Structure 1
Amino acid sequence: MPGPLTPDFAPWTFDTTASPEQRAANDDRVAALRTAGHAVGEGCVVSDLAEVDADTFALGDRSYIAAHAHVTGDVEIGADCSVNVAAALRGRVTVGDGVRIGSRTSILGFDHAFDRVDVPVFRQGLTSRGITIGDDVWIGAHVVVLDGVTVGAHAVIGAGAVVTRDVPPYAVAVGNPARVVRDRRTGERPAPRRADPDADRARRVEQFGADALAALPGLVERAFDGERYRDAPGAAPTVRAHCDAVELAALAGGVPAGLTRDAHVDRLTALVGPDGRVPEHGAEHEGTAAAPDPSHRADDAWPRGAEGYHVLSVGYALDLLGSALPAVPGTGATPGEVAARLAALPWGTNAWGAGSVVDTVGTALTWARETGVAVPDGAREALVGWLVEHRDPVTGLWGAPRARDGWREPVNGTYRLVRGTFAQWGTPLGLGRELTDTVLRHAASGVLDPPRVTACDALDVVHLLRWARRCGAEGYRTDEVADVARAVLDGVLTRWSADGLAFAPSGPRRTRGDTASGVPEGIPSLQGTEMWLATAWYAADLLGVADLLGWTPRGVHAPEPRASALS
C-alpha cells in the first residue's frame, strides 16, 4: 500500500498515489521554478525532498525529479526523463528525451583544477567542458559520468560504471573505467585493439605529402578573385588570405598565380603604413574581430588583433618573396616600457591575447634586427628577462587555467608567445618536463577530439610538445607524446581533400581575433589548409616521419629558428 512519501521516492507513480494536497504542493513547486526563470514543462513532478538550485534549469514535459536528487549548475533535461533517488546532475549537463538516470548516479559536468602544487586545490577554481547525453539513454544506478563526456543516443550504461570517455550511440558500456562491450543493434563486440598502429602510416604520410603539393597551386588559384585573395569562396578578401596564399605557394615551390612576384611584393608593401601598421582590407571589417584592436596606443605602442598578426603574416610573406617590411611597428619601447606593458597584459583573464601580443613583439624585434631598424638598448633583454621571471615553474606555461575552458587559454597563449620569441630565436628555456606534463593533460581533456578540434588547438599542442623536447624533455613520456602525435596526424590524413582543409572540421567554431577567418566550420580555407599542413608536419616530426612528407612549413609556422634576436 502506498505510503505518504511514495510520490517523492517513486514519482512515476505520482498520478496514482499523490494526494490532492501533494498535487497542489507539486504545482506550487513547479510554479516557483518557473517564476525563478526556469523552463519547466507540463506534467512534471519535482519532489519536495529534491534540491534544485541551478543557475539555469530546464525540465521537459512529463519528466520528474525524485527525492534527494541534487541539481546545480546549468542543467537541461528533455521530455519523458527520470532523475531517480539521490542522483546528482551538476555543472553543465544536457540530457535528451526519454532518458532514465538511476538512483545515486552522479553526472558531473565540471571538475576541480588541481595542477598547481603550491596552491591549495580548493583555491584553484573549477573547469567545465560539459556533458551531453543523447535521447533514449538508460544510465543504471551508482554510475559516475565525468566532465567532457558525450553519451550517444540509445546507449545503455551498466550499474556502477565510471564513464571517462565518450560512449557511441546504441553502445552498451560497463565497468570502471567504462568500456563498450557490445552494440545494441547488431550484438557485435568491439574488435580487439590492433598492435603496431604505425604499420601503414608511413605509406599514408608519403602519399599525403605528394597529394598536398599537387593540390596547392589550384587551391591558391581558386582563392584569387582577380583582385584580391579570399580565405574561401564567398568570404571577404583579407590581408591574411593573401599571405596564406604566398606561404602555400612557397611550399609548392612557386608564387601564387595571377600576379608576378614583383606585383605580390608591391601589393603587400603598399599595405604597410609609415608607422609599420597594416590595417585590414576595407571598411566592412570595422567592428569585427578582424579590425584593429581599438585599445592599442599610438606611436610605438604594440599593435594587436589583425594589425598584430600582420606583423607576422605580411612580414613572412614578403620574406618568402625575397623582400622585407618597409617599416616595423612597436619596436620603440624602452626596457622600462617593455616591462610595464608586459605586466599590463591580461595574463589571468586572456592568456591567449597576452601571448599573441608577445608573438607580435618578438617577431617585430626579429624583423627590426634583420632590416636594421633601431631598437632602444636593452629592450630585447627586458622582454626575455620579464618572460623568464614570470613563467609558471610548475606548469611551464604563462597564464593560468580558467573555469570556462581549462588549460586552453594558457596553452594557446604559451604557444603564441614561444613561437614569436624563444622558438623563433632558437632559445631553449628549460622546464621541458613540466611543459610536457601540462600539454599532455590539456590534450587528454578532449580538445583534440573530432569533431571539436580546430587547427589552432592542435597546432598549439604539437608545437609545444616539440619545443619541450628541446627544453630538456627528450625521451620523457615518449609513448604518450607519440599517441597524441598519431591522433593529430591521423586526423589530418583522414580529412585531407584536394579542396584543402577546414580550420574547424565541424562543431562549435572556437577561434579568436587574428586567427578567425570568418569562414564557417567545415568549409576548406586557405587558413585552415596552411595551419593543418603545418600541424601535420609537427606531428609527423614528433613521430620521426616528417621527412616522408617531402616539404617543411614555410613562413609563420616554419619549425626551425629564424634568427637570434639577442645577438
Structure 2
Amino acid sequence: MGLRQELSVEHFDHCPWLFAEEATEEQRVAQRERQRSVGGDSEMGERCYVAQSAAVFPDRLRLGDDSYIAAHAYVTGELTTGTDCTLNPFTVVRGAVALGKGVRIGAHTSLLGFNHSMAPDRPVFQQPHTSRGITVGDDVWIGSHVVVMDGVTIGDHCVIGAGAVVTKDLPAWTVAAGNPARPVRDRRDAKATSAARPGRGGDVLARFAETVRAQAADVLGRCWDGERYADRPGTAPTVRAHCDAVEIADLLLGTAPEQLDTGEHVRRLASLQDPDTGLVPEFDEPPPAPDDDGFLGEGAALYHVLSVGYALDLLGSSFPHPVRGVREMTASQLVARLEGLPWRDGAWGAGAWIDTWATAAHWNLRYANGDGTRPGSLETLFGWLLTRADPWTGLWGRPSAAAGRLQVVNGYYRLTRGSFAQFGLPVPHPRRAVDAVLDHARDVRYFGAGQENACNVLDVAHPLWLCTRQLGGGAGDGGYRSAEIRAWAEGQLAAALPRWQDGRGFGFGPVTSGPGPEPGLQGTEMWLAITWLLADLLGRSDALGYRPRGIHRPEPAHDGHDAHAAHDGSPKG
C-alpha cells in the first residue's frame, strides 16, 4: 500500500504541511469543499489547508497562500494572515487578529483579541465585550501554551517562549518569555545591550541620520528634470515637489536645494501666487475660482497654502499677497462653512480645510493695518472647534463601519496641526484623544504588516506627540498610556528606518495609495518628519541631529507677534 493511501485525513489535520505533496486527488477535492464550507466572509489563498476537526467560525477570514489551520484549532472573529502562516493543533484565535508573513503559532496557544468588561454593576457573564485587536508582524514564532492578550502588538522577527503570557507590546526582534512576558534578549545578538538595538539606542538613529544627510543631494538631484522638481523621475513636475525639495534640503543640509540659488527659489515660488485671490494654482493651470464666500472647498491650491507658505518661510521669505478668502470672510460665513464641512463621511477633508484656513490666517496676520483677517474670525474658529469636539473621543466627526476611525483620526491631525498646534493652544480632551488614536493605531487595515503609509503613520504619531506634551512629560516619563505609546513608536520606528533606499529616499508606502511605493520627495519629506516624531516620543530625537522647521515643525508657528509686525507685501529676510 502506497504512502498516499496510508495518510488519512486525521493525519493531515495534525501534520498539514504534508498535504501539498502527499494528498490524493480525492482528498484535495474534499479539502476544497472544506474551505468552501467555512462560514462568514472567508477567502483562502493557494495551497492552504483547514483541518476537518478545526472549529472555524469566523466573521471574516483571510488566509494567505501556503497557510494552514491544524487539528482542533478554534477560530472565531476576524483573522487575517499573510503567507506561510501556521496555526498548529489546539490553537485558539478569537476576536480581531492580524498576522504578518511567516508566523508560526505553537500548539495550545491562544490569541485572544477581545475581552470582557469588569464593571461591578452586573455579573461577568452579562458584561459586554470589548476588542482592540492583536497584531503580529512578519517572521514571528510564538511557542506552545502561550497566551496573547487583547490590544497587544508583536513586532517583526520576535520569538515568544513557551508558556509566556503576553500582556504588553513587544518591539521587533525581541525574544520574550515569562508570565507576564518580558524581553530576554535581542534575537540578532544574545549579548546585545539595549543601547545597540534598532529603535532603542541613539546610535542607530545617528547612523541613519548620517546616511540620509550624505545622500540628500542625490535624492534631490534625481527629482530635478533640469527645469522643475517632480516627486519621482518620470512624473510631471508639481508645485508640491518643489516645496518638498526645499523642506528636505532645509532639514538635512540647512540650505536651499542646490539646483537654484536661494533668490531664484523664492522668485519662482512667490511668483506662483495669484495676486487677486492669494492662492497658488498648480503649474500651468489658471487660478482657481473661489466659492461664494471667497474661499475654496477643495483642490491642490488648498494644500499649496501650507506647502508654498512654509517653503517660502524656510527660504527667509513669505507670500507677497494675503489670502483674500480668509482676509474677507465674515464670522457668519466661517460658521456656515464649518457647519457645511463633511464631518459625517469625510472628516479628513473637513480637517484639511480647517488646516488650510487657519494656516492662511497665520500668514495673513503678518500684514499690518487689519489686512489679515476680520476681527473675531480666529475667535470664531476656535470657539466653534472647542464646542464641537466630542468629549468621549476628543475628536471631530464620527467613525464608520467601512473605514473605522481613519477619517476622524487623519482629520484630527490636519485640523489640530493648522489650528491648535500652529497657534500654540491646548487641544480639548487630550486623554480621550489619545485613547481614540491608539485604538485606531491597532486597525490592521491600516497598520497591519505591510499596510502602513506615510499619511496614516504621521496622522497617529503627531496627535500622540501633541497630546503627550500637553498632558505633561513625554511618553517615557510615566505619562498617560506611556507604555503603549512607546511600544507603538518603537515598532513603527523599527519598521520605518529600513525603508530608506540609498540615493532615492523613502516611498510613500508599500501599497498603491497616494504616490505609492516608489521613492520620491513627498515620501522622503514625510517619513523624515515621522522619524523625528517617533524618536522624540521615545526621547531619542537628539540623535538625529535635525528638527523639522516647516509644515511638520513641532513648535507653534504663530508667536502672537505677527499681527503687530508691519508688512509691506514684500518678502522678508
The aligned residue for residue 317 of structure 2 is 322
Q: Tell whether 2:497 aligns with 1:502.
A: no
Asked whether the 8 Å contact 2:44–2:62 carries over to 1, the reply is yes
Cα displacement string for residues 534-565 of structure 1 (whole angstroms, at most 9, x for unaligned residues) = 45555677788878877653332343432548
CA distance in 1, matches of 2:461, 2:101: 35
SS of the aligned residue for 2:301 comes to: helix
The aligned residue for residue 265 of structure 2 is 264
Q: Tell whether 2:521 aligns with 1:520.
A: no
Q: 1:282–1:73: structure 2 CA closer, same or farther, 3 Å change rule?
A: farther
Q: How does 1:462-477 map to 2 (within 5 A)?
A: 463-464=462-463, 467-468=466-467, 471=470, 473-474=472-473
1:426 to 421, 424, 427: 424
Asked whether the 8 Å contact 1:128–1:405 carries over to 2, the reply is no
The aligned residue for residue 21 of structure 2 is none
Cα displacement string for residues 425-455 of structure 1 (whole angstroms, at most 9, x for unaligned residues) = 2333565565566667777989999987655
SS of the aligned residue for 2:421 comes to: coil
Asked whether the 8 Å contact 1:280–1:307 carries over to 2, the reply is yes
CA distance in 2, matches of 1:476, 1:61: 40
SS of the aligned residue for 1:73 comes to: strand
The aligned residue for residue 345 of structure 1 is 341
CA distance in 2, matches of 1:486, 1:439: 13
Whichever residue aligns with residue 223 of structure 2, its letter is A
Q: 1:560–1:503: structure 2 CA closer, same or farther, 3 Å change rule?
A: farther
Q: How does 1:65-464 map to 2 (within 5 A)?
A: 66=71, 69-75=74-80, 84-85=89-90, 87-94=92-99, 102-103=107-108, 105-108=109-112, 130-131=135-136, 139-141=143-145, 143-144=147-148, 146=150, 149=153, 158-159=162-163, 161-162=165-166, 165=169, 174-179=177-182, 189=190, 191=192, 193=194, 201=202, 216=216, 219-250=219-250, 252=253, 254-273=255-274, 274-281=276-283, 300-319=294-313, 320=315, 322-326=317-321, 328=323, 330-331=325-326, 332-371=328-367, 373=371, 375-399=373-397, 409-429=407-427, 431=429, 455-456=454-455, 459-460=458-459, 463-464=462-463
Query: Once structures 1 and 2 are overlaid, which stretch shifts more, 444-453 or 334-343?
Result: 444-453
SS of the aligned residue for 1:427 comes to: coil
Cα displacement string for residues 449-487 of structure 1 (whole angstroms, at most 9, x for unaligned residues) = 998765545655564455446645257862566957995
SS of the aligned residue for 1:556 comes to: coil
Asked whether the 8 Å contact 2:510–2:516 carries over to 1, the reply is no
Q: 1:79–1:554: structure 2 CA closer, same or farther, 3 Å change rule?
A: closer
The aligned residue for residue 18 of structure 1 is none
Aligned-residue Cα RMSD (Å) equals 5.7
Asked whether the 8 Å contact 1:245–1:526 carries over to 2, the reply is yes
Q: 1:176–1:451: structure 2 CA closer, same or farther, 3 Å change rule?
A: farther
SS of the aligned residue for 2:365 comes to: helix
Q: How does 1:56-67 map to 2 (within 5 A)?
A: 56=61, 58=63, 66=71
Asked whether the 8 Å contact 1:329–1:364 carries over to 2, the reply is no
Asked whether the 8 Å contact 1:432–1:470 carries over to 2, the reply is no
CA distance in 2, matches of 1:375, 1:180: 55
CA distance in 1, matches of 2:372, 2:85: 70
Asked whether the 8 Å contact 1:485–1:540 carries over to 2, the reply is no
Q: Tell whether 2:541 aligns with 1:556.
A: no
CA distance in 2, matches of 1:373, 1:365: 10
Asked whether the 8 Å contact 1:308–1:357 carries over to 2, the reply is yes
Asked whether the 8 Å contact 1:81–1:98 carries over to 2, the reply is yes
SS of the aligned residue for 1:384 comes to: helix
Q: 1:23–1:391: structure 2 CA closer, same or farther, 3 Å change rule?
A: closer
| Paired-residue identity, % | 33
Q: How does 1:46-65 map to 2 (within 5 A)?
A: 46-47=51-52, 50-56=55-61, 58=63
Asked whether the 8 Å contact 1:202–1:545 carries over to 2, the reply is no
Query: Once structures 1 and 2 are overlaid, which stretch shifts more, 271-280 or 25-34?
Result: 25-34
The aligned residue for residue 477 of structure 2 is 478
Q: 1:361–1:10: structure 2 CA closer, same or farther, 3 Å change rule?
A: same
CA distance in 1, matches of 2:537, 2:39: 54
Q: 1:78–1:408: structure 2 CA closer, same or farther, 3 Å change rule?
A: closer
The aligned residue for residue 24 of structure 2 is none
SS of the aligned residue for 2:60 comes to: strand
Q: 1:350–1:477: structure 2 CA closer, same or farther, 3 Å change rule?
A: farther
**CA displacement at 1:358 relative to structure 2:** 1.1
Q: 1:113–1:234: structure 2 CA closer, same or farther, 3 Å change rule?
A: farther
Structure 2: gaps (5+ residues): 1-7, 19-26, 118-125, 565-573
Asked whether the 8 Å contact 2:322–2:372 carries over to 1, the reply is no
Whichever residue aligns with residue 315 of structure 1, its letter is G
Whichever residue aligns with residue 332 of structure 2, its letter is G
CA distance in 1, matches of 2:205, 2:229: 31
CA distance in 1, matches of 2:48, 2:209: 59
SS of the aligned residue for 1:91 comes to: strand
Query: Once structures 1 and 2 are overlaid, which stretch shifts more, 253-262 or 420-429?
Result: 253-262
Asked whether the 8 Å contact 1:143–1:159 carries over to 2, the reply is yes
Asked whether the 8 Å contact 1:140–1:159 carries over to 2, the reply is yes
The aligned residue for residue 286 of structure 1 is none
**CA displacement at 1:337 relative to structure 2:** 3.4
Q: 1:213–1:560: structure 2 CA closer, same or farther, 3 Å change rule?
A: farther
**CA displacement at 1:237 relative to structure 2:** 1.6
Q: 1:542–1:276: structure 2 CA closer, same or farther, 3 Å change rule?
A: same
Give TM-score, length-normalised by structure 1.
Answer: 0.68
**CA displacement at 1:240 relative to structure 2:** 0.7
Q: 1:308–1:392: structure 2 CA closer, same or farther, 3 Å change rule?
A: same
**CA displacement at 1:243 relative to structure 2:** 1.3
SS of the aligned residue for 1:502 comes to: coil
Query: Once structures 1 and 2 are overlaid, which stretch shifts more, 357-366 or 396-405?
Result: 396-405
Whichever residue aligns with residue 52 of structure 1, its letter is F
**CA displacement at 1:189 relative to structure 2:** 5.0
Cα displacement string for residues 345-369 of structure 1 (whole angstroms, at most 9, x for unaligned residues) = 3445444333222111101222333
CA distance in 2, matches of 1:210, 1:60: 39
Asked whether the 8 Å contact 2:219–2:505 carries over to 1, the reply is no
CA distance in 1, matches of 2:256, 2:209: 19
Query: Once structures 1 and 2 are overlaid, which stretch shifts more, 158-167 or 192-201?
Result: 192-201
Whichever residue aligns with residue 242 of structure 1, its letter is H
Structure 1: gaps (5+ residues): 1-5, 16-21, 115-120, 284-291
